[in-house]
Amino acid sequence: MTQFINDKQNLVTEAIDGLLATAGGQLYRLDGYPHIKVVCRSDWDKSKVALISGGGSGHEPAHAGFVGQGLLTAAVCGEVFASPSVDAVLAGILAVTGSAGCLLVVKNYTGDRLNFGLAAERARAMGLKVEMVVVDDDIALPDLPQARGVAGTLFVHKIAGAMAEQGATLDQVTHAAQQVIDGTSSIGTSLDTCTVPGSPKEDRISAGNVELGLGIHGEPGVEQVACDSARQAMQLVVRKLKPVMGGKKVVALLNNLGGTTPLEMSVLANELVSTCDNVTHVIGPSLLMTSLDMHGFSVSVIDADESQLAALAAPVGASAWPQMQAVNNSYVQPVPEGLAPQAPVASEDAAARATIEQVCDLLVAAQSDLNELDAKSGDGDTGSTLATAAGALKQSLSRMPLAEPDRLMRALGNELSQTMGGSSGVIMAIFFNASGDACAAGASVEASLLKGLERVSQVGGAVVGDRTMIDALQPALEALPGGLEKAAAAARKGADNTATIGRAKAGRAAYVPEDNLIGNNDPGAEAVARVFEGLATKS
C-alpha cells in the first residue's frame, strides 16, 4: 500500500462521507451515489442566489470543502480528475435553486463546460434562472486558445459567494463573477508530478528542475527550469505574473498543490512578499486547489477594488477557507529587557583560538558521517547541527574573551545556546556555563569541565551507559589530566561501546528499536571521540 485508500472505486464517495461526518451538521449530500455526488449547505433556504461549482475530485479542499456560508451553496464532485455527469450537475441545481436563481462557476475544461452547460440548459427548460461563468485564469500557456481554469477560481467563489450571501441579484452576482475572472491571473510550478490513485506516477520532471505552468491534473507545463532554492522558484512565478499586474497593487492567493510541507509554504510566503512588492494582501499559504500530492505551489493574483476587497474579507462558514490577511512588514519587536545577549569583552589567546578552531574544523569534517549515523537512530541531523554551530562559533571568536578561561566557557555556552539547534544547544549551554562557574571558583580547567558534565547529568538525567555523548565525554574528561592521548583513547572506547547498547535511555534513540542501534555508535559519542582524537593527533 502506498496510499491510505481502500477501494479505488469508492475513493471519492468515502472521502465525501468523511467530510460530511466531521462537518458538524453544516453539510449534507444528495442520495445518488455513486453517480450523483453533490454536497450542499444544510442551512440553505433558497431565498438567495445559489452558487454552484465543482469538477473532478483530487483538488481538495476544493470544491466540497468550500461549501458554506459566504462561499458555495453546493459542490458537484466527479471522480478523480473527471468531470461530474450532466445528471449530477442538474441534481445540484435542482436541490438548491429557488426563485432568485443560481450561478454555475466552471473551470475552463471541455468536460466541465459541456456537462455544466447542458445541465444549465435543462434547468432553464424547467423554468429555473441559471447563469454560468467560465474561469480561465491560467497564464502559463499564452498561445493556448482557451486558458485553463486553476486556483484563481477561488477568488470567484469568495467574491460571488459574499455577494450572494448579502442578497445581490443573479445579474449582479454574475457580473461581479465575470469581473473577477477578467482581473485574475494564476501560474503554478512543481518539483514533481502527482500520484493518481491506481496509476503509476509519471517521472517527468528531472532532478534539480521545477516545471513551470503545469496543470492541476498533472498536465505538462510550459518548460522545465533548473532551480535550487525557494527564492528562485518564487521569482520564476512572479516574473510571469509581473506583466499582468502592471505595477498595480494586488491580492495574492498562495496555494499548496498538495505535497508541499507547511514549513516550505511559509518560506515561499516570505519569498512572495519579499519578491513582489505589489502584494498588499495574501490568502494562504494553504491547501486550496490541490492536485492530489503534487509537490508544488501556485500563485493567483487579482487587482481588487474596494468592494472586492470587502467581499474577500467577509466571514465564511467553511473552515477550510483561510482568512485574507494584509501583508505585515512590522512584526519584529525587541526581546524583553534582560534577555538580550551581552557581548563579552574580547581578549586574545592564540593557543585557545587554535584549539577552538581545530575542534570546529573537526566537527565540520565529520558532518556527513555523523548524519549517516544519526539517521539510524534519530532524525539524521546531528552532523549538520554540530557543523552549523561550529561554523558560527569560528566566526564569533574575534569577540570572545579567549584569554580568560572562566569567562570564555560562559561565552561559549551563550554562543552555542543561540546557534546550536534542539536539545544539543541547551546541553552545551548548561555544560559550558557550569564549567565557567567552577573555573571562576578556582577549579582547574579539567576539573571545571567535569563539573560542567556533572551538571548536565543532573539536569538531563543521562549517565554513562545510557547511549549518549556522555558515554565518550565522561571517560575522556576523567582521563584528560593524563594528557590528550589518554583522553582520546578513553573517548574512543566509550564511543565504540555505545554500539553494543541496544536500548538507549535518553534522547531520540530511546524511541528506536534495538535492531537500529546495535552495531552503530551513538552519533554524539562518536563526535566527542573524533574531536579528542583530532586534538591528540595535532598535540
pLDDT at 135 over 70: yes
pLDDT of 374 higher than 60:
yes
Asked if residue 387 belongs to a domain, the reply is yes
Distance CA 286, CA 509 (A): 34
- Mean pLDDT, range 163-186, rounded to an integer: 97
Burial zone of 331 (CB within 10 Å; 0-12 exposed, 13-18 middle, 19+ buried): exposed
Whether pLDDT at 166 is above 70: yes
Q: What is the pLDDT of residue 502?
A: 78
* Count of domains for the chain: 2
The reply to whether 334 falls in a domain is no
131, 121 Cβ separation under 8 angstroms: no
Residue with cell 461526518: 21
Q: Which of 59, 63, 157, 217 is catalytic?
A: 217
Secondary element (H or E) of residue 244: helix 230-245
Tell me, yes or no, whether 270 and 384 share the same domain. no
Closest CA to 178 of 110, 238, 104, 235: 104
Confidence check: pLDDT of 341 > 70: no
Q: Which residues pair with 226 in a beta bridge?
A: 209
359 and 316 within one domain? no
Asked if the model's pLDDT at residue 25 lies above 80, the reply is yes
Q: Which residue has the higher pLDDT, 268 or 142?
A: 268
- What is the dihedral angle through the alpha carbons of 454, 457, 462, 464, rounded to the nearest 10 degrees? 0
Of the residues 311, 326, 341, the one at which a domain ends: 326
Q: What is the mean pLDDT of the chain?
A: 92
Residue with cell 554524539: 524
Q: Provide CB contacts within 8 A for 59, sequence distance 6+.
A: 216, 289, 290, 291
Please compute the mean of the pLDDT values over residues 400-421 and round it to a whole number.
Answer: 89
**Are residues 247 and 133 part of one domain?**
yes
> What integer pLDDT is reported at residue 377 of this predicted model?
72
Active site residue 157: no
Which residue from 194, 8, 279, 305 is spatially nearest to 205, judged by alpha carbons? 194
Supply the pLDDT for residue 119.
97
- For 255-289, the pLDDT digits (tens) are 999 999 999 999 999 999 999 999 999 999 999 99
Residue 467 phi, psi dihedral angles, 5° rounding:
65, 60
* Average pLDDT, integer, range 337-361: 81
- The domain of 26 spans 8-196+206-326
Confidence category of residue 507, pLDDT binned at 50, 70, 90: low
Sequential DSSP letters for 442-489:
T--HHHHHHHHHHHHHHHH---TTSSSTHHHHHHHHHHGGG-HHHHHH
Residues 321 and 354 in one domain: no
In the prediction, which pLDDT does 142 show? Answer: 77
- Look at residue 105 and give its three-state secondary structure: strand
Q: What percent of the chain has pLDDT over 70?
A: 96
Q: Are residues 308 and 257 in the same domain?
A: yes
Buried b (16+ CB within 10 A) or exposed e, 229-258: ebeebbbbbbebbeebbeeeebbbbbbbbb
Residue 341 lies in a domain: no
- Whether 173 and 34 share a structural domain: yes
Same domain, 274 and 409: no
Q: Are the C-beta atoms of residues 360 and 393 closer than 8 Å to each other?
A: yes
CA distance 274 to 301: 16
Q: Is residue 2 part of a domain?
A: no
Reported as a single tens digit per residue, the pLDDT across 91-115 is: 999 999 999 999 999 999 999 999 9
Taking CB atoms within 8 Å and a gap of at least 24, the contacts of 273-276 are 273/327, 273/329, 275/231, 275/234, 275/235, 275/238, 276/238, 276/241, 276/242, 276/245, 276/252
Considering the domain architecture, whether residues 296 and 155 belong to the same structural domain is answered as yes
**Per-residue pLDDT for 427 more than 90?**
no
373 assigned to some structural domain? yes
What CATH number is given to the structural domain containing 468?
1.25.40.340
User: Given strand 27-29, what is the order of strands in its sheet?
Assistant: 27-29, 38-41, 74-80, 50-57, 102-107, 130-135
Quick check: is 232 in a domain?
yes
Distance from C-alpha of 414 to C-alpha of 416, rounded to nearest angstrom:
6
Q: Are 276 and 244 a contacting pair, CB within 8 Å? A: no
pLDDT at 342: 58
Q: How confident is the model at residue 15 (pLDDT cuts 50, 70, 90)?
A: very high
Q: Are residues 294 and 377 in the same domain?
A: no
Rounded CA separation 270/228 (Å)? 17
**Number of neighbours of residue 397 by Cβ within 10 angstroms:** 17
Same-domain status, 240 and 354: no
Q: Does 331 map to a domain?
A: no
pLDDT at 331: 82
For residue 1, the model assigns a pLDDT of 79
- Average the pLDDT over 404-431 and give the result: 86
Q: Domain check: are 295 and 367 in the same one?
A: no
Q: Is 480 inside a domain boundary?
A: yes
Residue 180, C-beta contacts closer than 8 angstroms, at least 6 positions apart: 155, 156, 159, 160, 302, 308
d(CA 189, CA 205): 11
Which residue in the block uniquely carries the three cell numbers 513551470?
212
Asked whether residue 441 falls in the same domain as residue 314, the answer is no
CATH number of the domain encompassing residue 296: 3.40.50.10440
- pLDDT, residue 254, reads 98
Looking at 326, 342, 374, the residue that finishes a domain is 326
DSSP 295-328: SEEEEEEE---HHHHHHHHS--S-TTSPPEEE--
